[in-house]
Amino acid sequence: MVAQPIDHCRKLFMKHESHEGNLLEKTESQPKVDDVDIFTAARLLQYLMLFFIIYMCRREYHKSETRKEEIKPEQEELQKKLEELQNKLEKLQKEMGRRKAQFKSAWRNAPLYADWRKEEFEAVKLTLDAASAHPALRLSEKGRQVAWQERPQDLPSSTQRFDSLPCVLGQLNITSGRCYWEVEVGDTCSWDLGICRDNITRKGVVTMSPQNGFWAIRLYEGEYWALTSPETLLILREIPLSVGIFLDYEAGDVSFYNMTDGSHIFTFPQNTFYGILRPLFRLWSSDSGLLTIVKVEEN
């Protein structure tokens, strides 16, 4: 009778332990409360960061749009000023073109700038013609310089050679076009420079004037003259160290420029040229000095 209650209690105790074990297993298989809280907080943090990024992007976008609206009037003002400057530049270019066209069509109306003429005239390569040189003149080996020599050379007589006027011509026959050359005069105290017809009289006494086929200027005893008929006294603002001779054959224009300062010296009244024209050089005496043709640089 005593054994039955003990067995019954033992069975009840073992059943109770089995029930607690099942409950423990079920409890361990479910997530804990702390784990659920951490997961939810991480997900919430991700959402907050995403929201913050979107917010900052939208904010910067609105800022840029606002800035665009603010600077739009400035851009429009700058664009307006740029257009005004472009219009002024176009007007200046048109005015320069108009003035240059006027200058090209009327040389005699703008005689003050040697550089402008040089743009429209051809610089010619020039040497001296020994066959035409007066016996008192000595030419350099390269034919670009002439000086006076005390003892005249004993040269054969020639129809091409000057025998009274101490002149020499350039080896250049001009029958058309626009050309120019420069002559260094330095401190040479007496000289004539210009052009003449090829068929001028080279023997005996000859008056140098346009009527006789000469278009030249002169320095003599400190005074400058244009060899017109009668001669014209010239007043120069600066003593030339180099003289430019510009010839426009078709226009009948012969002009002289002071190449030291670019100023205009003299232009002969308009002529009608025919036949061959040639450069002319003259020295007056043994103390005259020398004349040098400026070398044309190769392009």
Supply the pLDDT for residue 47. Answer: 78
Q: How does strand 232-234 pair with strand 223-226?
A: antiparallel
Cα 136–Cα 196–Cα 242 angle in degrees, nearest 5: 70
The pLDDT tens digits along the chain (299 residues) read 444 544 554 554 455 455 455 544 444 445 454 555 676 777 778 878 888 888 888 888 777 777 777 777 877 888 888 888 888 888 888 888 777 666 555 555 555 567 777 888 999 999 999 999 999 999 999 999 999 987 777 777 788 999 889 999 999 999 999 999 999 999 999 999 999 999 998 988 889 999 999 999 999 999 999 999 999 999 998 999 999 999 999 999 999 999 999 899 999 998 899 999 999 999 998 888 899 999 987 65
Burial tier of 293 (Cβ tally within 10 Å: 0-12, 13-18, 19+): buried
pLDDT of residue 15: 52
Tell me, what's the pLDDT at 23?
45
**Would you state the pLDDT for residue 151?**
77
Distance CA 276, CA 181 (A): 17
What pLDDT, on a 0 to 100 scale, did the predictor assign at position 105? 58
Write the single-letter amino acid at 33.
Answer: V
* Terminal-residue alpha carbon distance, the chain: 144
The pLDDT of residue 191 is 97
Report the C-alpha gap between 123 and 298 in whole angstroms: 11
Model pLDDT, residue 45: 81
The secondary element (H helix, E strand) that includes residue 293 is strand 290-293
pLDDT at residue 102 in the model: 65
Provide the β-strand partners of residue 214. Answer: 196
**Three-state DSSP class for 114?**
helix
How many CB atoms within 10 Å of residue 168? Answer: 26
How far apart (Å, rounded) are the C-alpha atoms in residues 267 and 260? 18
217 token code pair: 């200027």
Domains of the chain: 111-293 (2.60.120.920)
pTM of the model: 0.65
Instruction: Say how far apart CA 167 and CA 189 lie, in whole Å.
Output: 16
